[in-house]
Chain A
Amino acid sequence: MAGKYEPTIVAFLCKWCSSAGSDLAGVSRMQYPPNVVPITVMCSGSVSPLYILNAFKKGADGVLVSGCHPGDCHYIKGNYFARRRIALVKELLEFIGLEPERFKMSWVSAAEGTKYTQIIKDFVDVLEPLGPQMKLRREQ
């Protein structure tokens, strides 16, 4: 795509809440930038740190992990493990000097189409000024 820089976001969405939430955004015809490509996983608890590092390695400018709100996990507690695991990944990414803005986690329920839309909009807004993520991207 020519013209202005378009960040690429990989979003790991849990099937039951966040993916359903983004479906709702669709059903309600809410508009958000097309920079995000969703990957629906069963549960935010199933998002391995390797997925996140790999997304950055493959050239993602931003990575989002989104799951059910605490207490609402379809699998009862998967998101609690996710919360802890992601916190550690975030600490590490910031420690090695990646811009913290590039990695986000959110709770988006099946009813929160609006919230999902807003999250993506805001994410794109913070990523644009940062420019392409070259730090962890694999050399071509």
Chain B
Amino acid sequence: MDMILQKKSLAPWLERLEGYDIYAPVRQDDIWNYAHVTDGRDIDLGYPNTVQSPKPIIFPQCETILEFSASEDGTPVMREVIPEPNPFVVLGMRPCDARALTLYDKVFGGDIKDPYYWKRREKGILVGLACTVPPSPNCFCPTVDGSPCSTDGLDILLTDLEDRYYVESLTKKGENLLNDAKTLFKAPTAAENKAAARIKSESEKKINRQVRQLAEVPPKLAGMFDASLWDEEAMSCLRCGICTYLCPTCHCFDIADELSSSSPLKGRRIRNWDTCQFPDFTMHSSGHNPRPDKASRLRQRILHKFHYFVVNHEAYQCTGCGRCISLCPVGIDIIEVLDKVRDYA
């Protein structure tokens, strides 16, 4: 079911969404990030890509999974903590970030479903915004089977037609959301249908970065564990966590107990994002570190995204958002790395 929403009606629409928490890109200082918005007028969807993908809304960086304390006789008492979020709407989600969630679904799904993830995932309605203009010069979604107007993982997709949005509801969830505010929407005219189709078809052409024959990379990687390439590519790496923490598909976490007091015993068991780029990620208590240097950590990042994940889930663990390229302090460019892998003799 396709609809048209006047841009001026965006705020009124949101006001109709009672009972939903709304997350949308807002500007803080000179960067854009998703935040909980209470006033629709704060929202401006004409934004370059957000620094952080909306992943923390569904997979927060820091999450308590249980609380513990000592009883009178000193025996520990534990209480499981399961999130009970309000229903929420993520507005203006980039298609690449939405696709990332479909990859999370594979990771946190399967035989054992991660309760913390799914509690939020199920409560969320994802309203995407097609990238009529690439939000980043390093966008390369088509390379990794995505598209600037991909609908994967979304419930609704908006396409910017100057003064209005072309609104496609893609799921039942999405449809219901539109129905709640029927009056604000009207059916698209033939012209609007054509315009939307044209913009979409052009959008892909505007993306100027890509990896040729990416398909050749995964099999190649299988044999490249000991390649010298990693040392060369990692020379400039600073071993920070930007590429992974800001990646919409990275999902590694670490579980630790944090005491608020040691006597009487009181604390929380917490899971925090972790990253393969930190030396302590693989540090053994023996003192041995199987990934002792940044080369082995860069290798892990690439192999995980373009080899292991492909083997396990038949997909690249990358949606081509380009964040790791644009935000890398030393300009390590995953596109170049993949090119070199492909051409590696």
Q: Which of B248-305 contact A (CB under 8 A)?
A: 260, 266
Interface contacts (Cβ under 8 Å), in number, total 3
Cβ of A12 to closest chain B Cβ, rounded Å: 20
B-contact bits for A101-140, CB 8 A (1 contact / 0 none): 0000000000000000000000000000000000000101
Complex formed: what's the CA distance from A43 to B266 in Å? 32
- Residues of the B chain whose Cβ atoms lie less than 8 Å from the Cβ of A138: 260
Interface residues of B (CB under 8 A from A): 260, 266
A contacts with B, residue count (CB < 8 A): 2
Complex formed: what's the CA distance from A140 to B260 in Å? 6
B-contact bits for A39-80, CB 8 A (1 contact / 0 none): 000000000000000000000000000000000000000000
Task: Sample 3 A-B pairs with CB under 8 A, ordered by A number.
Answer: A138-B260, A140-B260, A140-B266
Cβ of B260 to closest chain A Cβ, rounded Å: 5
A140 to chain B: closest residue by CB: B260
Complex formed: what's the CA distance from A140 to B266 in Å? 9
- Residues of the A chain whose Cβ atoms lie less than 8 Å from the Cβ of B260: 138, 140
Cβ of A134 to closest chain B Cβ, rounded Å: 14
Cβ of B79 to closest chain A Cβ, rounded Å: 14
Complex formed: what's the CA distance from A5 to B266 in Å? 23
Complex formed: what's the CA distance from A138 to B266 in Å? 13
Cβ of A10 to closest chain B Cβ, rounded Å: 15
B260 to chain A: closest residue by CB: A140
Complex formed: what's the CA distance from A7 to B260 in Å? 19
A139 to chain B: closest residue by CB: B260
Complex formed: what's the CA distance from A98 to B344 in Å? 56
- Residues of the A chain whose Cβ atoms lie less than 8 Å from the Cβ of B266: 140
- Residues of the B chain whose Cβ atoms lie less than 8 Å from the Cβ of A140: 260, 266
Cβ of B247 to closest chain A Cβ, rounded Å: 27
Complex formed: what's the CA distance from A138 to B260 in Å? 8
In the A-B complex, the 3 residue pairs with the closest CB atoms:
A140-B260, A138-B260, A140-B266
Complex formed: what's the CA distance from A21 to B266 in Å? 36
Complex formed: what's the CA distance from A138 to B270 in Å? 15
Complex formed: what's the CA distance from A34 to B266 in Å? 25
A58 to chain B: closest residue by CB: B261
Cβ of B63 to closest chain A Cβ, rounded Å: 14
Complex formed: what's the CA distance from A33 to B266 in Å? 29
Complex formed: what's the CA distance from A138 to B259 in Å? 10
Cβ of A60 to closest chain B Cβ, rounded Å: 14
Cβ of A58 to closest chain B Cβ, rounded Å: 8
Complex formed: what's the CA distance from A38 to B45 in Å? 57
Complex formed: what's the CA distance from A111 to B266 in Å? 41
Cβ of A42 to closest chain B Cβ, rounded Å: 24
B266 to chain A: closest residue by CB: A140
Complex formed: what's the CA distance from A140 to B64 in Å? 12
Cβ of A98 to closest chain B Cβ, rounded Å: 21
Complex formed: what's the CA distance from A138 to B268 in Å? 13
B259 to chain A: closest residue by CB: A138
Complex formed: what's the CA distance from A140 to B268 in Å? 9
Cβ of B229 to closest chain A Cβ, rounded Å: 41
